[in-house]
Structure formats: structure tokens, C-alpha cells
Structure 1
Amino acid sequence: MEDGEGPTKQTTREDMAPDSAEQSDKMHWTLHVDGSAGETGRGAGVVLHGLEGFTLEYALRLDFKASNNEVEYEALLAGLSLATELGAGKLKVYSDSQLIVNQVNGIYEAKGPRMKRYLQKVKEKLQRMREVEILQVPRDMNNRADALSKMASEETHDFGTILTEILPHPSIDEVQVLEIPPGPNWMDPIMRYLKDGVLPEDKLEARRLTARAAHYLVHGPRLYKRSYT
């Protein structure tokens, strides 16, 4: 009405939905994964976004023969491992692979012994997490993970400050591992200082430690070196 009088508009469920969804997303960690298999090699890209603006980019080069779908599974497994290690409680996973997403969600059946083993490996990791949702997105909404996977597939690419690793064998293969007893290492004093504020009694060593620790941060059980970003 022109004079401004009249019934006040009531708030509806539709009015509240966007804000509620936005608040819900802030409570979740988000994980984007993608795999790339081509003539130059095979790679996986992972982008993990955590709480308070935490972001981790990870490129994984696969040093073995693998199909496109197997590479996509390796990307998903790598991302779930990182999210678990960093303590992600609620996690939303985004992948542009329709096959992998639907197999994990039980819509498609995994065919072939290798695909079944990959699916079983993913389910084992999901059981260790509190709340996980796996969604399919268009490739253009997964572009950073896609770029990392393509970079990882190129053997000569320079990753700069991006966390990288070479996977020598498929994750579904059993590999004998020789366990090394844990012992003191160079990270221990930095971890104690960053977590508990403990410094050496020697003032010179204390100054050196504080200067060195400024280049690192602790997230979960791991020590990370700060990058330019």
C-alpha cells in the first residue's frame, strides 16, 4: 500500500533457507577431488577447505598404470585420508566423476575386482568419519582440483609451495611396511613451542627457536610450513 500501512510480511521457510544453508556450510569441511590420466602420466588433485579459512592443496602423482576411474578413486582416497588426519568432523566431498560418486552412494554397482576393492577401501575410510556427504559437481565447479591433477600428471611440472607426493603403487595393494620406532627429531621443539609455549632455557636458543617457528603452524597432529598464500 502506498502509505506503508498494511500487513507485515511474515518470514517463511523459503526466506530462511539460504541463510540456514550458508550457516550449515560454514560448519562443514569441504573437499574437492579430481583425477587425470593421459599420455604424460596420471595424477590426482585435492583441495581441502577447513574451518576459519584453512585451505590445503595437494597434488599426487601416480607412478603406476591406472585407468581414469582408478585415478579418480585414488584422488578420493587421498582426500579422505587428509581430511581424517586433520580432524574433519563434518565433510562435504565434491567430485565431477558421475561413476565414482554414484558407486560410493550405492546407486551404481562396482564392476570388476579392482573397482570393487577401491570402493571397499573408500567405504572403510568413510566409516571412520562422523558425517560425510559425497556430491557430483560439473567440471567447471571443480576446476582447481582438476588443474592440480593435470599438473601432477606432468612429470616435469614445478609445483612451487604446493604439497606434492608420488604414489608408487595402488592404494588397494597390500605393501609390507617396516615400522621405525618414533624418536626425537627437529620438529619436536617447534611443536612444543607452538602448542604449549615451551622454550629452551638458553636465551640464544630460545630466540632462534621463536624465529624459526614463525615459518610453521600446527594443525591437528602435523607441523606445516607456511607458504606465501
Structure 2
Amino acid sequence: MSKPVLSGRKAKWSLLHSDFEIKFVPQKAIKGQALADFLATHPSPDNVELPADLPNEEVFTIETVTWQLYFDGAARRNGAGAGLVFITPSGGLIPYSFSFLSLCSNNVAEYKAFIIGLEFSLKMHIDCLQAYCDSQLVVRQLNGQYAVRNATLIPYHEGAKYLMSQFQGIHVSYILRSKNDKADALANLAASLMLPDERDIQITIGERYLLPPAIERIEEFVDSNVITASKCDEEPDDLDCSLPIIEYLQHGKSPNDSRKKAKVRHRATRFLYLNDTLYKR
């Protein structure tokens, strides 16, 4: 007795599609004569040798694309937050920062950060994920090395394991806090800027100096020549004629005589008094 065309799973699909006016047409088998006809229509040249070895399994393997996730949680007296840093296969960086509306412990914040990272990964259709965390307790609990004895952590642990089961490949590794600094900074920032009513803010981080570093500042030098002091010809009994200029430049004093005062002020514009030395500009 021949087996009907629509049997088992195919018959079930046909009934389900009938509600939507979709007709299921099973694929027909390709007969050997069709392959022979194709080879006869497209013959190979005589000078081309046909390979005797068939391709092995390595030819048909598809290279898996793995993303990286660095996550961290932070809990403070007045806030808690999570920081996520995704590293794309091409080396791109995608940061996220989240504030929690309720206070929690550090371990709960770590689990919440990981769960948020898994949910984002699934939304981005990431199949293979390598996650990193600086909490040995959370990493070893997720890898099954430690049992979860804290009743508060059990629901978060179960939720994380359920999300992990939806990936083709996923692994959680422990790293030092110094190597998880970006996610740690984002988590602490979110904990410090805890916002009510689930509001979002955008923070721009830029590298820019308002002033150049002190070692790069170029000091201004005055191209000057030291002048030689000499007696004034007009008043040989007075002190050096440079003294009125020095007093004017250092203390703002000028002679009482209006004619000499104007002369000193005019000549003082051509000099500079620095470190007990009078320089000509």
C-alpha cells in the first residue's frame, strides 16, 4: 500500500494553512533522469579533469560570529545602575547605561546588568556571545561552580539561565576590575544619576582641552638689548638719566616738571624694566 502524499506533519501544515487560504503544495522528488539530462545539456570540455575527491565537511562549515559583552552593576545608598559595553566582531564599541528604580545589593545589580545585556543581545539577533564580569560569585554561579543559596538571587539566576539557553553559544568569564573599567564607569554613572519616572538623558563624552598643557605652553620672550646707563647731558649733577624711567615703569612716578614728565612718559614706552634691569624694546 502506497503512503499518501499528505501524511503526518505535512498534513497538519496543510490544515493549518487552509484557514488562511494558503494551499500547501509538496515538493516533488528530483528523478535521476533530470540530473542526467542536465549533464547531457551542459557537457564538460574534454581537457578538464573531473576531481575525484569530494569536498570534506570543512567546506560546508559556517564560521560563527561572536560578540563580546562587558557588564557590571553598581549599588549605592541612593541609587543603583548597570553598565554594558558591547564589542562587535569588527571591533566596534556600543555602550549602554541603565538606572534602576529600586535599591538593591551589588550582586543583584550584577545579575540585572547581565539580564539586560542578554535581552539586548537577543533583540540584536546575536547567536554567539562571550560575556565578561568582574564578580567571581556571579560568574561561578552562572557557570554552575557555585550553588545559589541566597533566596534573593535565585529568581535572577533562573532568569539569566533561561535567557542563556536561547543562544547557540554563550560563555561567561571572570576578568579583573581594571579590565572592566568602561562598564564599571557606566554603572557608577547610572547609579549616581538615578532619574525618576524612567526618563532618559543623553551624555556626550568628548576629549578636548580648554587650555593647552602647561609643559606645551610657549613662553613669550622679548627681543631686547641691555642699554648702558649714562649721565644726562642736560643735568650732570642729577642721578643716572635712566632713573626717572625706571621709577615711572616700576612705581608710576614721574617728575613734577610738566616738560620732563611728558619726556619721561614718551621715552618709557620704548623700555622694559624686568628683574632690576632696564631693557630697550
Instruction: Identify whether the pair has TM-score above 0.5, normalized to the shorter chain.
Output: yes
Q: What percent identity do the matched residue pairs reach?
A: 30
* One-letter amino acid matched to 1:96: D
Q: Residue in 2 aligned with 1:47?
A: 85
Shift in Å, 1:36: 0.6
Q: Which residue number corresponds to residue 234 of structure 2?
A: none
Q: CA deviation at 1:51?
A: 2.7
- The whole-number CA distance in structure 1 between the counterparts of 2:178 and 2:78 is 23
- Tell me the distance in 1 between the aligned counterparts of 2:131 and 2:177: 14
Give the counterpart of 2:203 among 152, 155, 160.
160
Q: For the Cα contact (< 8 Å) 1:97–1:136, is it kept in 2?
A: yes
SS of 1:142 mapped into structure 2: helix
Alignment size in residue pairs: 138
Structure 1 position 114, deviation (Å): 2.1
Amino acid at match of 1:45: G
Q: Which has the higher strand share?
A: 1
Rounded to whole Å, the distance in 2 between the matches of 1:139 and 1:160 is: 23
The answer on whether the counterparts of 1:43 and 1:152 sit within 8 Å (CA) in structure 2 is: yes
Residues 40, 155 of structure 1: 8 Å contact kept: no
Match of 2:165 among 119, 127, 135: 127
Q: Is the 8 A contact 1:44 1:152 kept in 2?
A: yes
How does 1:1-229 map onto structure 2 within 5 Å?
A: 27-155=65-193, 159-160=202-203
Residue 118 to residue 156, structure 1, CA distance change in 2 (3 Å): closer
Q: CA RMSD for the aligned pairs?
A: 2.1
- Max radius of gyration: which structure? 2
Evaluate the alpha carbon distance shift between residue 156 and residue 37 of structure 1 in structure 2; reply closer, same or farther with a 3 A threshold: closer
Q: Which has the higher helix share?
A: 1
**Match in the other structure for 2:50:** none
Whole-angstrom distance in 1 between the partners of 2:194 and 2:98: 13
Deviation of the 1:137 alpha carbon: 0.2
Which is bigger in relative contact order (C-alpha 8 A, separation at least 6)? 1
Aligned AA (1:141) = K
Q: For residue 32 of structure 1, what is the amino acid of its counterpart?
A: Y
Name the SS for the 1:133 alignment partner. strand
Task: Provide Cα deviations, 1:113-144, integer angstroms capped at 9, x if missing partner.
Answer: 22111110000000111100100000001000
SS of 1:114's partner is coil
Does the aligned pair in 1 maintain the 2:71–2:131 contact within 8 Å? yes
Distance 2:130 2:90 in 1: 16
The secondary structure found in structure 1 opposite 2:153 is helix
Query: Residue 203 of structure 2 aligns to which amino acid in structure 1?
Result: G
Cα deviation for residue 156 of structure 1 reads 6.6
- Contact in 2 for aligned 1:103/1:109 (Cα 8 Å): yes
CA contact (8 A) 2:70 2:85 kept: yes
Q: 1:65 is matched by which residue type in structure 2? A: L
Contact 1:46 1:75 in 2 (8 A): yes
Shift of residue 28, structure 1, vs aligned partner: 1.5
Please state whether the residue corresponding to 1:71 is helix, strand or coil.
helix
The answer to whether the Cα contact below 8 Å between 2:68 and 2:129 also exists between their aligned partners in 1 is yes
TM-score by length of 1: 0.56
Contact 1:37 1:43 in 2 (8 A): yes
8 Å CA contact 1:31–1:92 kept in 2: the answer is yes
Q: Distance in 1 between matches of 2:102 and 2:181?
A: 24
Alpha-carbon shift at residue 64 of structure 1 (Å): 0.4
Q: Contact 2:97/2:190 (CA < 8 Å) preserved in 1?
A: yes
Q: CA deviation at 1:83?
A: 1.0
Question: Could you list the runs of 5+ residues in structure 1 that have no partner in the other structure?
Answer: 1-23, 163-229
